[in-house]
A and B are shown apart, each in its own frame.
Chain A
Amino acid sequence: MAVNEAHDPNKLHYENPFFQKMMSVPGLSVAMSTVDQLMAWGSANSLWIFPMATSCCGIEFMAAAASRVDLDRIGSIARGSPKQCDVMVVAGTITVKMAPRVKKLWDLMPEPKWCLAMGSCAISGDFYRDIYSVIPGIDTVVPVDVYVPGCPPNPEQLMAGLMRLQEKIKLQQQGKWTAPETRPETEKMIVPEVGRLWESDRNTEITEGQISRCATLGLNGNEMAQNDEPELVQIRKKGDQIPTHLSFAANPSKKG
Protein backbone atom coordinates (compact mmCIF):
# COMPACT_ATOMS: atom_id res chain seq x y z
CA MET A 1 0.00 0.00 0.00
CA ALA A 2 1.07 3.50 0.74
CA VAL A 3 3.94 2.48 2.88
CA ASN A 4 6.54 1.46 0.34
CA GLU A 5 6.33 4.80 -1.38
CA ALA A 6 6.05 6.67 1.91
CA HIS A 7 9.37 5.14 2.84
CA ASP A 8 11.00 7.01 -0.02
CA PRO A 9 12.51 10.14 1.58
CA ASN A 10 12.16 12.12 -1.66
CA LYS A 11 8.39 11.75 -1.57
CA LEU A 12 6.63 13.51 1.24
CA HIS A 13 3.42 11.54 1.03
CA TYR A 14 1.82 8.86 -1.06
CA GLU A 15 -0.34 10.10 -3.91
CA ASN A 16 -3.19 7.80 -4.74
CA PRO A 17 -3.60 7.91 -8.57
CA PHE A 18 -7.36 7.63 -8.25
CA PHE A 19 -7.53 10.28 -5.57
CA GLN A 20 -8.01 13.25 -7.92
CA LYS A 21 -10.68 11.41 -9.93
CA MET A 22 -12.49 10.42 -6.79
CA MET A 23 -12.44 13.95 -5.46
CA SER A 24 -14.07 15.25 -8.68
CA VAL A 25 -17.18 13.11 -8.18
CA PRO A 26 -19.64 15.17 -6.11
CA GLY A 27 -20.51 13.63 -2.76
CA LEU A 28 -18.21 10.67 -3.18
CA SER A 29 -15.43 12.18 -1.08
CA VAL A 30 -17.73 12.43 1.92
CA ALA A 31 -18.86 8.86 1.52
CA MET A 32 -15.37 7.50 0.89
CA SER A 33 -13.88 9.29 3.86
CA THR A 34 -16.25 7.36 6.10
CA VAL A 35 -15.25 4.10 4.41
CA ASP A 36 -11.61 5.07 4.66
CA GLN A 37 -11.96 5.68 8.37
CA LEU A 38 -13.59 2.31 8.75
CA MET A 39 -10.80 0.67 6.74
CA ALA A 40 -8.14 2.42 8.81
CA TRP A 41 -9.82 1.38 12.03
CA GLY A 42 -10.01 -2.19 10.79
CA SER A 43 -6.50 -2.55 9.48
CA ALA A 44 -4.90 -0.77 12.45
CA ASN A 45 -6.67 -3.00 14.94
CA SER A 46 -6.03 -6.31 13.22
CA LEU A 47 -2.28 -6.28 12.61
CA TRP A 48 -1.48 -9.92 12.12
CA ILE A 49 2.20 -10.42 12.72
CA PHE A 50 4.61 -12.60 10.82
CA PRO A 51 7.44 -13.10 13.35
CA MET A 52 10.76 -13.19 11.50
CA ALA A 53 12.46 -14.17 14.76
CA THR A 54 16.00 -15.28 14.07
CA SER A 55 17.63 -14.79 17.47
CA CYS A 56 17.20 -13.52 21.04
CA CYS A 57 14.77 -10.70 20.18
CA GLY A 58 12.37 -13.51 19.31
CA ILE A 59 12.27 -14.45 23.00
CA GLU A 60 11.20 -10.90 23.88
CA PHE A 61 8.63 -11.10 21.13
CA MET A 62 7.24 -14.26 22.74
CA ALA A 63 7.15 -12.46 26.08
CA ALA A 64 5.22 -9.63 24.43
CA ALA A 65 2.73 -12.14 23.06
CA ALA A 66 2.30 -13.69 26.51
CA SER A 67 -0.21 -12.67 29.14
CA ARG A 68 1.50 -9.66 30.81
CA VAL A 69 1.84 -7.41 27.77
CA ASP A 70 -0.54 -9.37 25.57
CA LEU A 71 -0.31 -8.36 21.92
CA ASP A 72 -3.68 -9.99 21.30
CA ARG A 73 -5.59 -7.13 22.89
CA ILE A 74 -4.72 -4.81 20.00
CA GLY A 75 -5.71 -7.52 17.58
CA SER A 76 -2.16 -8.62 16.78
CA ILE A 77 -1.96 -12.35 16.32
CA ALA A 78 1.25 -14.10 15.34
CA ARG A 79 0.68 -16.32 12.34
CA GLY A 80 2.93 -18.89 10.72
CA SER A 81 2.08 -18.14 7.12
CA PRO A 82 3.21 -14.90 5.45
CA LYS A 83 0.13 -15.02 3.21
CA GLN A 84 -2.13 -14.21 6.16
CA CYS A 85 -0.06 -11.43 7.71
CA ASP A 86 0.12 -7.64 7.63
CA VAL A 87 3.24 -6.86 9.67
CA MET A 88 6.62 -8.52 9.46
CA VAL A 89 8.46 -8.16 12.77
CA VAL A 90 12.14 -8.72 12.03
CA ALA A 91 13.51 -9.75 15.41
CA GLY A 92 17.15 -10.68 15.22
CA THR A 93 20.35 -10.77 13.20
CA ILE A 94 19.84 -11.34 9.50
CA THR A 95 22.71 -13.14 7.80
CA VAL A 96 23.68 -13.00 4.16
CA LYS A 97 22.27 -16.48 3.68
CA MET A 98 18.98 -15.55 5.39
CA ALA A 99 18.45 -12.20 3.61
CA PRO A 100 17.15 -13.64 0.30
CA ARG A 101 14.73 -15.80 2.29
CA VAL A 102 13.48 -12.77 4.22
CA LYS A 103 12.96 -10.91 0.94
CA LYS A 104 11.06 -13.89 -0.47
CA LEU A 105 8.79 -14.10 2.58
CA TRP A 106 8.22 -10.33 2.40
CA ASP A 107 7.19 -10.67 -1.23
CA LEU A 108 4.75 -13.43 -0.30
CA MET A 109 2.87 -11.12 2.09
CA PRO A 110 -0.21 -9.47 0.54
CA GLU A 111 -0.58 -5.69 0.39
CA PRO A 112 -1.10 -3.68 2.54
CA LYS A 113 1.96 -4.71 4.53
CA TRP A 114 4.32 -3.09 6.98
CA CYS A 115 7.69 -3.96 8.42
CA LEU A 116 8.90 -3.43 11.98
CA ALA A 117 12.62 -3.73 12.72
CA MET A 118 13.03 -4.92 16.31
CA GLY A 119 16.38 -4.64 18.06
CA SER A 120 19.81 -3.31 17.16
CA CYS A 121 20.73 -6.22 14.90
CA ALA A 122 17.70 -5.80 12.67
CA ILE A 123 18.18 -2.01 12.63
CA SER A 124 21.87 -1.75 11.83
CA GLY A 125 23.61 -5.08 12.41
CA ASP A 126 24.97 -3.68 15.69
CA PHE A 127 28.20 -5.33 16.76
CA TYR A 128 27.79 -8.01 14.11
CA ARG A 129 27.81 -5.24 11.51
CA ASP A 130 31.38 -5.83 10.35
CA ILE A 131 31.18 -9.62 10.35
CA TYR A 132 31.48 -11.22 6.93
CA SER A 133 28.15 -13.04 7.11
CA VAL A 134 25.78 -10.39 8.53
CA ILE A 135 23.91 -7.70 6.61
CA PRO A 136 24.08 -4.16 8.05
CA GLY A 137 20.41 -3.73 8.88
CA ILE A 138 17.22 -5.19 7.47
CA ASP A 139 16.38 -1.94 5.65
CA THR A 140 18.91 -2.93 3.00
CA VAL A 141 16.48 -5.72 2.07
CA VAL A 142 12.91 -4.58 2.84
CA PRO A 143 11.48 -1.10 3.57
CA VAL A 144 11.07 -0.52 7.30
CA ASP A 145 8.19 1.49 8.78
CA VAL A 146 8.95 1.43 12.49
CA TYR A 147 12.26 0.98 14.26
CA VAL A 148 12.21 -0.35 17.83
CA PRO A 149 15.70 0.14 19.28
CA GLY A 150 17.11 -1.96 22.10
CA CYS A 151 19.25 -4.99 22.62
CA PRO A 152 16.81 -6.62 22.98
CA PRO A 153 13.85 -4.20 23.40
CA ASN A 154 11.41 -4.77 26.25
CA PRO A 155 8.05 -6.30 25.44
CA GLU A 156 6.64 -2.90 26.37
CA GLN A 157 8.86 -1.23 23.77
CA LEU A 158 7.62 -3.61 21.11
CA MET A 159 4.07 -2.82 22.15
CA ALA A 160 4.82 0.91 21.89
CA GLY A 161 6.30 0.33 18.43
CA LEU A 162 3.17 -1.46 17.27
CA MET A 163 0.99 1.32 18.64
CA ARG A 164 3.13 3.84 16.77
CA LEU A 165 2.53 1.78 13.65
CA GLN A 166 -1.20 1.89 14.34
CA GLU A 167 -1.11 5.69 14.48
CA LYS A 168 0.88 5.78 11.28
CA ILE A 169 -1.60 3.55 9.48
CA LYS A 170 -4.55 5.67 10.58
CA LEU A 171 -2.88 8.88 9.42
CA GLN A 172 -1.81 7.42 6.08
CA GLN A 173 -5.27 6.04 5.46
CA GLN A 174 -6.61 9.57 5.87
CA GLY A 175 -4.10 10.79 3.29
CA LYS A 176 -2.14 12.75 5.86
CA TRP A 177 1.59 13.16 5.85
CA THR A 178 3.56 11.02 8.29
CA ALA A 179 7.17 11.69 9.09
CA PRO A 180 9.42 8.90 7.81
CA GLU A 181 11.06 6.95 10.62
CA THR A 182 14.70 7.81 11.06
CA ARG A 183 17.04 4.95 11.68
CA PRO A 184 18.45 5.23 15.22
CA GLU A 185 22.20 5.75 15.10
CA THR A 186 24.29 3.06 16.68
CA GLU A 187 26.42 4.49 19.44
CA LYS A 188 30.09 4.90 18.73
CA MET A 189 32.33 2.06 19.72
CA ILE A 190 33.88 2.50 23.15
CA VAL A 191 37.62 2.03 22.91
CA PRO A 192 38.88 0.32 26.08
CA GLU A 193 41.73 1.94 28.01
CA VAL A 194 43.64 -1.33 28.20
CA GLY A 195 44.40 -2.33 24.63
CA ARG A 196 44.03 -5.85 23.38
CA LEU A 197 47.08 -8.12 23.37
CA TRP A 198 47.64 -7.86 19.64
CA GLU A 199 47.32 -4.08 19.46
CA SER A 200 50.55 -2.19 19.02
CA ASP A 201 49.67 0.71 21.34
CA ARG A 202 49.05 -1.55 24.32
CA ASN A 203 50.88 -0.44 27.42
CA THR A 204 53.84 -2.77 27.98
CA GLU A 205 53.81 -2.16 31.75
CA ILE A 206 50.33 -3.71 31.96
CA THR A 207 51.49 -6.77 30.08
CA GLU A 208 54.56 -7.24 32.27
CA GLY A 209 52.47 -6.76 35.39
CA GLN A 210 50.03 -9.40 34.26
CA ILE A 211 52.81 -11.83 33.39
CA SER A 212 54.55 -11.38 36.76
CA ARG A 213 51.22 -11.80 38.52
CA CYS A 214 50.48 -14.97 36.58
CA ALA A 215 53.91 -16.35 37.53
CA THR A 216 53.03 -16.25 41.22
CA LEU A 217 49.47 -17.45 40.64
CA GLY A 218 48.56 -20.80 42.12
CA LEU A 219 51.83 -21.35 44.00
CA ASN A 220 50.87 -19.78 47.28
CA GLY A 221 47.69 -17.86 47.89
CA ASN A 222 49.17 -15.87 50.78
CA GLU A 223 52.10 -14.61 48.71
CA MET A 224 49.65 -13.56 46.07
CA ALA A 225 47.59 -11.68 48.62
CA GLN A 226 50.59 -9.78 49.92
CA ASN A 227 51.45 -8.52 46.46
CA ASP A 228 47.91 -7.34 45.88
CA GLU A 229 46.52 -3.95 46.65
CA PRO A 230 45.21 -3.52 50.22
CA GLU A 231 41.57 -3.34 49.12
CA LEU A 232 41.85 -6.61 47.27
CA VAL A 233 43.46 -8.25 50.30
CA GLN A 234 40.49 -7.25 52.45
CA ILE A 235 38.06 -8.72 49.95
CA ARG A 236 40.10 -11.89 49.83
CA LYS A 237 40.12 -12.15 53.63
CA LYS A 238 36.37 -11.75 53.70
CA GLY A 239 36.11 -14.58 51.24
CA ASP A 240 38.14 -16.81 53.51
CA GLN A 241 35.62 -16.42 56.29
CA ILE A 242 33.09 -18.71 54.64
CA PRO A 243 31.95 -21.25 57.25
CA THR A 244 33.65 -24.56 56.65
CA HIS A 245 30.45 -26.55 56.77
CA LEU A 246 29.16 -24.54 53.79
CA SER A 247 32.22 -24.90 51.58
CA PHE A 248 33.99 -28.09 50.62
CA ALA A 249 36.73 -26.07 48.99
CA ALA A 250 37.61 -24.33 52.24
CA ASN A 251 38.13 -27.64 54.01
CA PRO A 252 39.25 -30.26 51.49
CA SER A 253 39.88 -32.94 54.11
CA LYS A 254 36.14 -33.29 54.73
CA LYS A 255 35.37 -33.68 51.05
CA GLY A 256 32.54 -36.09 50.34
Chain B
Amino acid sequence: MTPKLYQQIAPLLTPTVDADGNALPITPEQVVNFGMMVPQNKHLALAQLLKEAGYSIYVTVVASHWEEQTVKGKSAPDPEHFEVATVVRHPGPGATTTFSWRVRLEVGESIDSLVSLYAGADWQEREQYDLVGVRFDNHPDLRRLMMPEDWPGHPLRRDYAIDTSHFPWR
Protein backbone atom coordinates (compact mmCIF):
# COMPACT_ATOMS: atom_id res chain seq x y z
CA MET B 1 0.00 0.00 0.00
CA THR B 2 1.46 3.32 -1.05
CA PRO B 3 1.72 6.18 1.48
CA LYS B 4 -0.59 8.29 -0.66
CA LEU B 5 -3.34 5.65 -0.63
CA TYR B 6 -2.85 5.19 3.10
CA GLN B 7 -3.42 8.93 3.64
CA GLN B 8 -6.60 8.74 1.59
CA ILE B 9 -7.95 5.67 3.36
CA ALA B 10 -7.18 6.60 6.96
CA PRO B 11 -9.91 9.28 7.36
CA LEU B 12 -12.56 6.82 6.16
CA LEU B 13 -11.88 4.25 8.89
CA THR B 14 -13.55 4.21 12.28
CA PRO B 15 -10.81 4.93 14.85
CA THR B 16 -10.41 2.61 17.82
CA VAL B 17 -11.35 3.98 21.22
CA ASP B 18 -9.36 3.73 24.45
CA ALA B 19 -10.81 3.08 27.92
CA ASP B 20 -11.85 6.72 28.44
CA GLY B 21 -13.65 6.93 25.11
CA ASN B 22 -10.98 8.98 23.29
CA ALA B 23 -10.23 8.15 19.67
CA LEU B 24 -6.75 6.76 19.13
CA PRO B 25 -4.74 7.77 16.03
CA ILE B 26 -4.90 5.23 13.22
CA THR B 27 -1.59 3.49 12.58
CA PRO B 28 -0.41 2.10 9.23
CA GLU B 29 -0.51 -1.38 10.73
CA GLN B 30 -4.21 -1.01 11.41
CA VAL B 31 -4.89 0.08 7.84
CA VAL B 32 -3.06 -2.90 6.37
CA ASN B 33 -4.53 -5.32 8.90
CA PHE B 34 -7.68 -7.21 8.08
CA GLY B 35 -11.05 -6.05 9.18
CA MET B 36 -10.95 -2.35 10.06
CA MET B 37 -14.38 -0.97 10.83
CA VAL B 38 -15.79 1.55 8.35
CA PRO B 39 -18.94 3.65 8.84
CA GLN B 40 -21.86 2.58 6.73
CA ASN B 41 -22.05 5.83 4.71
CA LYS B 42 -18.37 5.60 3.68
CA HIS B 43 -18.54 2.04 2.38
CA LEU B 44 -19.03 3.00 -1.29
CA ALA B 45 -16.47 5.84 -1.15
CA LEU B 46 -13.81 3.46 0.19
CA ALA B 47 -14.55 0.89 -2.49
CA GLN B 48 -14.34 3.61 -5.16
CA LEU B 49 -10.97 4.69 -3.80
CA LEU B 50 -9.59 1.16 -3.79
CA LYS B 51 -10.91 0.44 -7.29
CA GLU B 52 -9.12 3.51 -8.63
CA ALA B 53 -5.95 2.51 -6.79
CA GLY B 54 -5.85 -0.79 -8.65
CA TYR B 55 -7.73 -3.18 -6.34
CA SER B 56 -9.62 -4.54 -9.30
CA ILE B 57 -10.51 -8.07 -8.08
CA TYR B 58 -13.61 -8.46 -5.93
CA VAL B 59 -12.93 -11.49 -3.75
CA THR B 60 -15.94 -11.89 -1.50
CA VAL B 61 -18.53 -10.34 0.77
CA VAL B 62 -19.53 -12.04 4.03
CA ALA B 63 -22.44 -10.93 6.17
CA SER B 64 -23.04 -12.15 9.71
CA HIS B 65 -25.82 -11.75 12.22
CA TRP B 66 -25.08 -10.96 15.86
CA GLU B 67 -27.61 -11.41 18.62
CA GLU B 68 -27.88 -9.05 21.56
CA GLN B 69 -25.03 -9.88 23.92
CA THR B 70 -23.35 -8.54 27.02
CA VAL B 71 -19.93 -6.96 26.59
CA LYS B 72 -17.22 -7.28 29.22
CA GLY B 73 -16.67 -3.96 30.99
CA LYS B 74 -19.86 -2.33 29.70
CA SER B 75 -23.17 -2.06 31.52
CA ALA B 76 -25.48 -1.90 28.48
CA PRO B 77 -25.60 -4.98 26.24
CA ASP B 78 -24.51 -4.76 22.61
CA PRO B 79 -27.75 -4.72 20.59
CA GLU B 80 -28.59 -7.08 17.74
CA HIS B 81 -26.78 -6.04 14.56
CA PHE B 82 -25.23 -7.22 11.30
CA GLU B 83 -21.67 -7.06 10.06
CA VAL B 84 -20.69 -7.04 6.40
CA ALA B 85 -17.05 -7.82 5.55
CA THR B 86 -15.78 -7.10 2.03
CA VAL B 87 -12.51 -8.34 0.55
CA VAL B 88 -10.83 -6.91 -2.57
CA ARG B 89 -7.47 -7.82 -4.07
CA HIS B 90 -4.76 -6.04 -6.04
CA PRO B 91 -3.38 -8.18 -8.90
CA GLY B 92 -0.02 -6.45 -8.73
CA PRO B 93 3.34 -7.95 -9.66
CA GLY B 94 4.86 -10.31 -7.12
CA ALA B 95 2.85 -10.91 -3.97
CA THR B 96 -0.81 -9.95 -4.30
CA THR B 97 -2.19 -7.62 -1.65
CA THR B 98 -5.59 -8.11 -0.12
CA PHE B 99 -7.63 -5.44 1.59
CA SER B 100 -10.72 -6.08 3.66
CA TRP B 101 -12.98 -3.97 5.78
CA ARG B 102 -16.07 -4.41 7.92
CA VAL B 103 -19.27 -2.39 8.12
CA ARG B 104 -21.62 -2.55 11.07
CA LEU B 105 -25.32 -2.38 10.28
CA GLU B 106 -28.05 -1.85 12.84
CA VAL B 107 -31.36 -3.67 12.42
CA GLY B 108 -33.31 -2.18 9.52
CA GLU B 109 -30.34 -0.48 7.90
CA SER B 110 -29.13 -1.34 4.43
CA ILE B 111 -25.72 -1.08 2.76
CA ASP B 112 -24.64 0.31 -0.61
CA SER B 113 -24.20 -2.27 -3.34
CA LEU B 114 -20.82 -2.48 -5.09
CA VAL B 115 -22.22 -3.85 -8.36
CA SER B 116 -21.67 -0.47 -10.04
CA LEU B 117 -17.93 -0.86 -9.33
CA TYR B 118 -17.41 -4.63 -9.43
CA ALA B 119 -19.64 -6.71 -11.70
CA GLY B 120 -18.62 -9.82 -9.73
CA ALA B 121 -20.40 -8.49 -6.65
CA ASP B 122 -23.79 -9.30 -8.16
CA TRP B 123 -24.29 -12.91 -7.11
CA GLN B 124 -22.16 -12.58 -3.98
CA GLU B 125 -24.50 -9.93 -2.64
CA ARG B 126 -27.53 -11.92 -3.69
CA GLU B 127 -26.22 -14.87 -1.69
CA GLN B 128 -25.74 -12.75 1.43
CA TYR B 129 -29.22 -11.29 1.02
CA ASP B 130 -30.62 -14.81 0.63
CA LEU B 131 -28.94 -16.42 3.62
CA VAL B 132 -28.53 -13.57 6.12
CA GLY B 133 -31.08 -11.03 4.93
CA VAL B 134 -28.85 -7.99 4.53
CA ARG B 135 -30.32 -5.57 2.00
CA PHE B 136 -28.08 -3.95 -0.61
CA ASP B 137 -29.13 -0.54 -1.98
CA ASN B 138 -29.06 0.02 -5.76
CA HIS B 139 -28.54 -3.66 -6.50
CA PRO B 140 -29.92 -4.37 -10.00
CA ASP B 141 -31.48 -7.75 -9.20
CA LEU B 142 -31.78 -8.53 -5.51
CA ARG B 143 -33.46 -11.96 -5.49
CA ARG B 144 -32.78 -15.17 -3.63
CA LEU B 145 -29.87 -17.12 -5.07
CA MET B 146 -29.71 -20.46 -3.25
CA MET B 147 -32.95 -21.10 -1.40
CA PRO B 148 -36.30 -21.61 -3.19
CA GLU B 149 -38.08 -18.38 -4.03
CA ASP B 150 -40.87 -19.02 -1.52
CA TRP B 151 -38.59 -19.98 1.36
CA PRO B 152 -39.58 -18.48 4.72
CA GLY B 153 -36.88 -16.45 6.49
CA HIS B 154 -33.14 -16.25 6.16
CA PRO B 155 -31.50 -19.48 7.36
CA LEU B 156 -28.10 -18.21 8.55
CA ARG B 157 -29.57 -15.84 11.10
CA ARG B 158 -28.95 -16.71 14.73
CA ASP B 159 -32.64 -16.73 15.56
CA TYR B 160 -33.61 -19.00 12.65
CA ALA B 161 -35.43 -22.11 13.81
CA ILE B 162 -33.55 -25.05 12.31
CA ASP B 163 -36.66 -27.25 12.22
CA THR B 164 -38.62 -24.82 10.05
CA SER B 165 -40.82 -27.06 7.92
CA HIS B 166 -41.12 -26.75 4.20
CA PHE B 167 -44.14 -28.53 2.82
CA PRO B 168 -44.25 -31.18 1.38
CA TRP B 169 -40.66 -32.34 1.53
CA ARG B 170 -39.89 -32.01 5.23
* A interface residues with partner B (beta carbon < 8 Å): 96-97, 99, 130-136, 140-141
Contacts and interface: CB of A to CB of B under 8 A. Distances in A.
A135 B169 contact: yes
12 contacts: A96-B166, A97-B146, A130-B162, A131-B162, A132-B160, A132-B162, A132-B163, A132-B164, A133-B155, A134-B170, A135-B170, A140-B170
B163 A130 contact: yes
Contacts of A141: 169
**Majority secondary structure of chain A interface residues (helix, strand, loop or mixed):** loop
Nearest to A134: B170
Interface string B136-168: 000000000011100000010000101110100
Given A96-B148, A97-B147, A140 B169 contact: yes
B155 A132 contact: yes
B152 to A, nearest CB: 10
Interface residues of B, number: 11
Interface in B100-151: 146-148
**Majority secondary structure of chain B interface residues (helix, strand, loop or mixed):** loop
Contacts of B162: 130-132
Report, nearest first, the 5 A-B pairs whose CB atoms are least far apart. A135-B169, A99-B169, A96-B169, A97-B148, A96-B166
A124 B170 CA distance: 12
Contacts, number: 26
Contacts of A135: 169-170
Contacts of B155: 132-133
A96 B167 CA distance: 9
B43 to A, nearest CB: 30
Contacts of B170: 96, 134-136, 140
Contacts of A97: 146-148
Contacts of B164: 132
B140 to A, nearest CB: 23
Nearest to B155: A132
Nearest to B146: A97
A134 B155 CA distance: 13
Given A96-B170, A136-B170, A140-B170, 19 more contacts: A96-B166, A96-B169, A97-B147, A99-B169, A130-B162, A130-B163, A131-B162, A132-B155, A132-B160, A132-B162, A132-B163, A132-B164, A132-B166, A133-B147, A133-B155, A135-B169, A135-B170, A140-B169, A141-B169
Contacts of B169: 96, 99, 135, 140-141
A45 B166 CA distance: 40
Nearest to B161: A132
Interface in B27-41: none
Contacts of B163: 130, 132
A127 B54 CA distance: 45
Contacts of A134: 170
Nearest to A129: B170
A132 B164 CA distance: 6
Nearest to A136: B170
Chain A CB within 10 Å — which of B148, B163, B164 has the most?
Answer: B148
Contacts of A99: 169
Contacts of B147: 97, 133
Chain B CB within 10 Å — which of A99, A132, A135, A140 has the most?
Answer: A132
